Structure 1
Amino acid sequence: MEPTVCPWCQSEIVWDEEIGPEETCPHCANELKGYRTLNIALEGEDAEADQEELDEDYEATEEEAVDLQRIWGSENESLSSLRTVDKYGEDHDLFAFEETVEAILDEQDEVPECLHCREYMLHAGTQHVSGEGFQPVNAALIRGPILQPPYELNVYVCPGCFHVQYNLAENDRLRMIKSFIHKKE
């Protein structure tokens, strides 16, 4: 039987000839036969006419309509509520803020995404961990601690929701890799 490509995740699906075609994608669990395209007009004078035309072209079942409302409603609410910086727009020039953020991001070597709102994060600095207040965990497989102080952490701050994240500095990443390799041998 010929392989099929999931329209949602673009994974190739090979059907078992005895069982027959899959109804849902085994990778992303989306319905394979329910793939549809919706065109949504965001602004414009003809928005109502366009929406009526869309409604005529696509008549969702009641179950699909509830699912779409749940997905769109929760996504729009969560993204807008996570972007804390927007509440300061009345008192401050957020356009100038965004321009500055973009310029800073262009200079960074690493640009992680915020885990909360998916904005790109600004490298705010480094934090030195000397060992005071840090209790390392010993892993039996490597016969020692996973991370041995002292080490440096990169500190990132999100310009959208102001959450702070840390990751291990480059030199300490390499030190950790080498210690895992040497301790296991």
Structure 2
Amino acid sequence: MSQQQVCPWCQMEITWDEELGPEPNCPHCYNELAEYRTVTVKRDAALAFDEEDDDAWSRYTRAAEKYLDAQEDVPECPQCQEYMVFAGDQLIGEAHFAPRTPSPALPPFLRAPFRLETFVCAHCFTAHQRLAEKDKKALIARLAEADADE
């Protein structure tokens, strides 16, 4: 019979065999699972999910795989290391972004407008954003030019 445990950091369910004992680290986020930091929940696996939930999850994972297959860049989730789906871009305009200028001698690191690519983990639903490729190149060029002027 297997036992189940929930990781307190990534909230993923961990199933382990009684003969082998509990996992020392979460296999999803790699955080330590020892002593006071771990909550162990014993429950009957048959009661955990009904067939409708299990069937919906299976259909969802098949659909998510189609989105992942259509992507060129498939980053890993920083929480659980599963793959993330590119959900879309967020345009950040000047009205929604106040650039920080650390000193009068330095220009702002980032200026609006720019785009953030938004990714969502298909497994734990963590959202992650990064600067769009075009805006990364513009940032590098602008700061390299500012440094050359000094």
- TM-score norm. by structure 1 comes to 0.52
Structure 2: unaligned runs, 5 residues or longer:
1-15, 27-31, 40-47
Change (3 A) 1:131 1:183: same
Give the structure 1 partner of residue 110 of structure 2: 147
- Which structure would you say has the larger Rg? 1
Distance 2:72 2:104 in 1: 33
Mean Cα displacement is larger for which, 164-173 or 130-139?
A: 130-139
Tell me the SS of whatever aligns to 2:63.
helix
Is the 1:142–1:180 contact (alpha carbons within 8 Å) kept by the matching residues of 2?
no
Question: 1 or 2 for the larger relative contact order (CA 8 Å, sep ≥6)?
Answer: 2
Give the structure 1 partner of residue 93 of structure 2: 130
- Is 2:58 aligned against 1:95? yes
Between the two proteins, the alignment pairs up a number of residues equal to 116
- Is 2:135 aligned against 1:172? yes
Tell me the SS of whatever aligns to 1:132.
helix
Give the helix-richer structure, 1 or 2. Answer: 1
Measured against aligned partners, the alpha-carbon deviations of 1:52-96 in whole angstroms (never above 9, x if no partner) come to xxxxxxxxxxxxx9xx86446828x79xxxxxxx97975242222
Tell me the SS of whatever aligns to 2:144.
helix
Is the 1:136–1:146 contact (alpha carbons within 8 Å) kept by the matching residues of 2?
yes
Identity %: 28
Is the 1:122–1:159 contact (alpha carbons within 8 Å) kept by the matching residues of 2?
yes
- Is 2:33 aligned against 1:74? yes
Give the structure 1 partner of residue 74 of structure 2: 111
Task: Supply the AA of the counterpart residue of 2:33.
Answer: S
Task: Supply the AA of the counterpart residue of 2:94.
Answer: G
Give the drift of 1:133. 3.2
Give the drift of 1:131. 2.0
Measured against aligned partners, the alpha-carbon deviations of 1:35-60 in whole angstroms (never above 9, x if no partner) come to xxxxxxx88xxx97xx7xxxxxxxxx
Tell me the SS of whatever aligns to 2:64.
helix
Tell me the SS of whatever aligns to 2:94.
coil
From 122, 126, 136, the counterpart of 1:159: 122
- TM-score norm. by structure 2 comes to 0.62
Give the drift of 1:134. 1.7
Tell me the SS of whatever aligns to 2:68.
helix
Tell me the SS of whatever aligns to 1:155.
strand
Q: CA RMSD in A?
A: 3.5
Change (3 A) 1:178 1:118: same
Structure 1: unaligned runs, 5 residues or longer:
1-41, 52-64, 79-85
Task: Supply the AA of the counterpart residue of 2:125.
Answer: F
**Structure 1 runs, 4 residues or longer, greater than 4 Å off:** 86-90, 139-142
